A and B are shown apart, each in its own frame.
Chain A
């Protein structure tokens, strides 16, 4: 039973490596293999999540035991379920999308090999039971996604890849310090709701521990693109679009946020941190990032880079919510994690379709495209509304939960966060509207001849788009059970 938790991780890694070794030549065989592996992994992962949800206390599954205190072990708890479910639901869809998208990019076996393997590694982050396991998969994720980022292997891709790896590894190096301290001042490395610190040992060393917390926060925050360590993310948008969509809007960046979640709520513990200068330090960073990301997005004409900056901003919504250090904050963070994942992935997929079908990457080239690609721009517009936070769409619910949590925290500093969120709403409106307003309401003369060759992509791409957009709407409209579930998670009463 508990091995079910390990199965999706191991199987996908093995299947991924298998694909790079086998290198099937026939396209049909390869596509079947890829879809099969991803579906199998997703199925197993959902099975594991459901099984863990049914069981009263999910048992841990130890893969490798180093010593009495160190082991690589997995256990699915509430937060794991949320993150694992997001990833497992989105991965097959984007795989379907990318099978079509990547069919002209070359080196598909290598690409999809790492693609499948990174699925497993992300699940490893989600299902990790202790900090060591989290750290292991966190580092592995950097490495296994690197070939995906650098897929095109040209100068820009290499630069982006190098930047990505160096930033991530450097972040992990600082996060490592935090883990060592948790080992020293904590009772265990296993995630424990409310923190693992041994308060008797920590007494007298609070300042040191807070400083270490800040270091670790920024260390993990690198992946979540927190200012000033988020510069890798926009550069990484040179990657093929499915990679940007899945990894740089969901899997990798949310892994950073997820690690921060573990760090705050399951590592240092909210009681220890709340009210300290460390909390204000990290909260300030998150607030600054919210505005910085949105402002940079507004000034970036390249579509995918703009979306990447938007991700920077939105990830910091999550981080800000986490730094409130209340259960309500956790709910807000998880809720926004879910909604942002669905919305942003849709937008990236739209961006991919636009780039592939029209070859246009800068938003000032989009004049009049909306009429030619109604499905793509339709889904894009809906998602943009969700991202702006038009009720009742997803982004609004996330924002609502975060702001409510901020008010409830009764922390004057958090009120600035609300202000930042509102300001970011304004900026989001502007940087999103300038995209699709151009597409729908062209200005000046439009080159109809050039436009007439552009059209919506085939069903393999539009179906995931529509499913995603519909899922985003449905998820938001019927979010009551989700929010209830998240509240149970946040109070650890699952």
Chain B
């Protein structure tokens, strides 16, 4: 059962590759995505399971388990993957070469499921690498020299980051009592205490390594390069889900291997918090300056995902709660934004922010979705983004080191202002161009607007009624600490 959500899209993806007929392929892709989502759902409903796939030597084995964090993540993946898959079909008809895109797209879902279900570091690393390798073709899809450069850059950063994490794990594994992920950490504390400096360096290295995927400084540079050249659905999942893969890996390392207790109050934690805050600020700054829409959104991702990391690194239940909420809401909102950007490209071929004056009149549905998502990203109530930011800020205020906590809050506010500064003008100028622009309505078809609508409604609804999600996270938290 554990294997089902992983293997189903992988083997299904092979058939997607081989299917030349477009309609059948679309149906196959959607069917597979739905089936995987259903399988993941069933798995979430079932009690926790675990499975050992193979053992090679000592700590070198592959194993899967479905713990609550994994389940949470699987739901998130399914929730994003489905609408984007629907959106991708008409978008690809516009760009061509759908066979290849949909094949890799389907297979990547399996890898993400595997990432969520991994029970130990080796398995996690395996799915992480495979995810990187399978998403590279999505970036490469455009078939231009720029796309190739971006793809290689993406690969290089991700592989090197994962490699850093792996290098750290070689050291870490000798201090673990249990190689599989254990809530609260698996460190052999007496032994670890003796080697605390070494382990803290290892923690720093591993977090920075996985942080590359999550767009954390200093290895964030791939994001703004890869997003503009990738097709919109690819950018959407890259930003919305793949970066969260890095976040998941960091959660696994921080809370399930090291344990919050061991790390709390260490210089490594402070250094990483500082890095995350720095990224939050820099990302927003760069987004403010950037004129290309997708690039601006990419910088926004850099900034927003680092909110998540900031929350995680506070090492308090409140911080984790804020982080998980932010992760979910950002995924939904940012995907909506990217899909909207894709729709704009399909309809008008506009990629530049300056070209977008009056776009709200041309494509009202798209831009309504866009506005909703933008408000959420900025963190304006009643959109969901507000809730996550609220929790993050309150967790930051409770942080032991006051100065760092207040600095964090200040950064959040500053960044929110800047976010407003780079997202709102698009909306405002889109709907109120000021002078009369010659406008003809050129909305994209319902198969593209529907996913956007669904997701932006989700953003709103979750903002209005966050209790269900809250409750779920509340049951989850004790297992993490």
> Is the C-beta of B130 less than 8 angstroms from some C-beta in chain A?
yes
> Is the C-beta of B126 less than 8 angstroms from some C-beta in chain A?
yes
Which residues in A have their C-beta under 8 angstroms from that of B145? 443-444
> Is the C-beta of B92 less than 8 angstroms from some C-beta in chain A?
no
Q: Are B156 and A430 closer than 8 Å at their CB atoms? A: yes
Give Cα A391–Cα B144 distance, bound, in whole angstroms.
30
> Is the C-beta of B54 less than 8 angstroms from some C-beta in chain A?
yes
Which residues in B have their C-beta under 8 angstroms from that of A390? 126, 129-130, 133
Which of B54, B59, B137, B174 touches A392 (beta carbons < 8 Å)?
B54
> Is the C-beta of B160 less than 8 angstroms from some C-beta in chain A?
yes
Which residues in A have their C-beta under 8 angstroms from that of B62? 391-392
Give Cα A433–Cα B167 distance, bound, in whole angstroms.
22
Q: Are B156 and A437 closer than 8 Å at their CB atoms? A: no
- What distance in Å separates the Cβ of A3 from its nearest Cβ neighbour in chain B? 36
Interface with A: B75-83, B147-155, B360-368, which one?
Answer: B147-155
Give Cα A392–Cα B124 distance, bound, in whole angstroms.
11
- What distance in Å separates the Cβ of B157 from its nearest Cβ neighbour in chain A? 9
Which residues in B have their C-beta under 8 angstroms from that of A122? none
Q: Are B148 and A443 closer than 8 Å at their CB atoms? A: yes
Interface with B: A162-170, A237-245, A307-315, A400-408, which one?
Answer: A400-408
Give Cα A421–Cα B57 distance, bound, in whole angstroms.
20
Q: Are B155 and A429 closer than 8 Å at their CB atoms? A: yes
Q: Which of B88-116 contact A (CB under 8 A)?
A: 100
Which residues in B have their C-beta under 8 angstroms from that of A93? none
Give Cα A241–Cα B151 distance, bound, in whole angstroms.
31
> Is the C-beta of A480 less than 8 angstroms from some C-beta in chain B?
yes
Give Cα A480–Cα B53 distance, bound, in whole angstroms.
12
Which of A418, A429, A444 touches B159 (beta carbons < 8 Å)?
A429
> Is the C-beta of A454 less than 8 angstroms from some C-beta in chain B?
no
Q: Which of B48-63 contact A (CB under 8 A)?
A: 54-60, 62
> Is the C-beta of A189 less than 8 angstroms from some C-beta in chain B?
no
Q: Are B163 and A433 closer than 8 Å at their CB atoms? A: no
> Which residue of chain B has the shortest Cβ distance to A401 in the bound complex?
B57
Give Cα A177–Cα B166 distance, bound, in whole angstroms.
41
> Is the C-beta of A479 less than 8 angstroms from some C-beta in chain B?
yes
> Is the C-beta of B345 less than 8 angstroms from some C-beta in chain A?
no
- A422-B167, A426-B160 as given contacts; A479 in contact with B152, CB under 8 Å: no
Which of B58, B60, B163 touches A426 (beta carbons < 8 Å)?
B163
Q: Which of A391-430 contact B (CB under 8 A)?
A: 391-392, 396-397, 400-401, 403-404, 406-408, 418-419, 421-423, 425-426, 429-430
Which of B60, B147, B159 touches A397 (beta carbons < 8 Å)?
B60
Interface flags for B265-299 (1: CB within 8 Å of A; 0: not) read 00000000000000000000000000000000000
Which residues in B have their C-beta under 8 angstroms from that of A400? 60, 122
Which residues in A have their C-beta under 8 angstroms from that of B125? 391
Which residues in B have their C-beta under 8 angstroms from that of A406? 170
Which residues in B have some Cβ–Cβ distance to A below 8 Å?
Answer: 54-60, 62, 100, 122, 125-126, 129-130, 133, 136-137, 140-141, 143-145, 147-148, 151-152, 155-156, 159-160, 163-164, 166-167, 170-171, 173-174
- A388-B129, A403-B166 given. 16 additional CB < 8 A pairs? A391-B122, A391-B125, A396-B126, A418-B167, A418-B170, A423-B163, A425-B159, A433-B155, A434-B152, A437-B136, A437-B140, A442-B143, A443-B144, A480-B55, A480-B57, A487-B57
